[in-house]
Structure 1
């Protein structure tokens, strides 16, 4: 495998790690909203429904697209490696 392919794989792995961190932050935020909802803190729930939920939806759509892009990049590396042999 060429250095270029190794770099692509490494860069994709780094980006996937960043995406996982973004998902974890969203999960923690959702946990906080759930706790406040169970405590009956209605303002927090309403605020989340108005501002937080659309943001999380936008972030999940972006993360999905990024994962698809990274996956396609890894497939390209795999296909190029087969051609090199």
Structure 2
């Protein structure tokens, strides 16, 4: 089941907007325990579509940084919700 979901998440990274893929990964974070694929999908999207921007000090890995922040934020929320 998890492999199928991972493949669908990679396909969403290829064909859906970035915000919808991140939203799907956040929902899946609550479904599966230790959903590290959030990091991998964010890194995958940064490697495919990442462009250096002045706003973030020339960094290409904006979604990866967002993925790390979301992982810890969602882990904190999941622990508080006792899911």
Specify the TM-score bucket, using the shorter chain as the normaliser.
0.3 to 0.5
TM-score normalised to structure 2 length: 0.37
Structure number with larger C-alpha Rg: 1
Report which of the two has the higher share of helix. 1
TM-score, length-normalised on structure 1? Answer: 0.37
